[in-house]
Amino acid sequence: MTITCFIRYEIDPFQKDAFLRYAEAWGRIIPRCGGHLVGYWLPHEGSNIEAWGLIGFDSLAAYEAYRARLRADEEGARNFAWAQQQRFILKEERRWLQGVEGTLNRPPQ
């Protein structure tokens, strides 16, 4: 992965299960459309309103190709529409990050 889209979600804490369902759907959709799904995370302890998603791409061109495939994906469109209808995502922020070589996916020694 050359670049990673880091998504911070502010979610309705009373609809955590809805966000879980939403994230599980992306587990099928994102890889199918060409994104490297690093994962989604739900609140566990501490803040109960923040969730996270990380998706990697080889380049910005790969991201643009992914977006085109995502726009044409029926399940992706349904997942977006369902999230808007249910209103469990209150805010979404995206950041683009570059991984530091030699620090990624390092197992414990």
Cβ pair 58, 65 in contact under 8 A: no
| Domains of the chain, each with CATH number or no CATH | 3-97 (3.30.70.100)
**Assigned token pair, 8:** 């911070």
User: What is the tens place of the pLDDT at every residue in 36-83?
Assistant: 999 999 999 988 999 999 999 999 999 999 999 999 999 999 999 999
Residues in Cβ contact with 29 at an 8 Å cutoff, skipping those fewer than 6 apart:
70, 73, 75, 76, 79
- Rounded-to-integer distance, Cα 103 and Cα 99, Å: 8
Least confident of 25-29, 50-54, 81-85, 100-104: 100-104
Burial of 28 (0-12, 13-18, 19+ CB in 10 A): middle
**Per DSSP, what are the bridge partners of residue 41?**
52
pTM of the model: 0.90
